[in-house]
């Protein structure tokens, strides 16, 4: 059966309204300020990277690593780490870690990509972590007999209190 003339007009009116909404959104997006472009290179006497001085990046690194012991303790309560690497242990730790990193990044106005690059830079350059924190490197995590975290070699430790 054919639809009534009124139903067809209503259908076309709804379609036209949807098109207008999409066009309005497209115009708004087009007129929005362009995204900032950050350079990953380290530049200047303050050793700036993506417009953040090295001094600030070191402070952020300490803030980002400050929650490591609490996260590790929580994960140890949930999963008993043995001599054999436990995928659940590792996964749960990184889930907790990500929410902590996102929180610190949000407080400091950092995007997640900046958070991860600051962490990476701190690990690679052996920056001191937050007081009371020891950072250990990861063995090859997919090897069957990976050592427990406490038995792995130390990347960096904060100075004694």
Residue 34 has pLDDT above 60, yes or no: yes
| Every domain of the chain and the residues it spans | 54-157
DSSP secondary structure of 42-77: -BTTTTBBTTB-HHHHHHHHHHHHTTHHHHHHHHHH
> Which of 106, 115, 136, 112 lies closest to 60, judged by CA?
115
CB 158 within 8 A of CB 131: yes
> Among residues of the chain, what percentage have pLDDT more than 90?
31
Residue 27 has a pLDDT of 87
Range of 1-10, 47-56, 143-152 with top mean pLDDT: 47-56
When pLDDT is averaged across residues 12-18 and rounded to a whole number, the result is: 94
> Among residues of the chain, what percentage have pLDDT more than 70?
82
Residue 126 has pLDDT above 70, yes or no: yes
3-state secondary structure at position 130: coil
| pLDDT tens string 47-106 | 888 889 999 999 999 999 998 888 888 887 877 665 455 667 777 888 888 999 999 999
CB 111 within 8 A of CB 52: no
* Banded pLDDT at 150 (limits 50, 70, 90): low
Residue 147 has pLDDT above 70, yes or no: no
CB 137 within 8 A of CB 160: no
Residue 35 has pLDDT above 90, yes or no: no
């Amino acid at each position: 059966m054919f639809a009534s003339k009124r139903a067809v007009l209503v259908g076309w009116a709804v379609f036209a309204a949807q098109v207008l909404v999409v066009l309005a959104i497209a115009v708004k997006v087009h007129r929005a300020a362009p995204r900032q472009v950050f350079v990953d290179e380290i530049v200047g006497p303050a050793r700036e990277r993506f417009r953040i001085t090295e001094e600030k990046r070191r402070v952020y690194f300490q803030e980002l690593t400050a929650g490591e012991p609490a996260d590790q303790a929580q994960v140890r309560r949930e999963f008993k780490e043995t001599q054999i690497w436990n995928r659940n242990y590792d996964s749960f730790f990184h889930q907790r870690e990500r929410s902590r990193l996102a929180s610190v990044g949000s407080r400091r106005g950092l995007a997640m990509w900046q958070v991860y690059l600051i962490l990476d830079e701190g690990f690679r350059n052996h920056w001191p972590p937050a007081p009371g924190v020891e950072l250990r490197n990861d063995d090859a995590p997919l090897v069957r007999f990976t050592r427990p975290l406490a038995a792995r070699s130390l990347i960096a430790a904060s100075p004694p209190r």
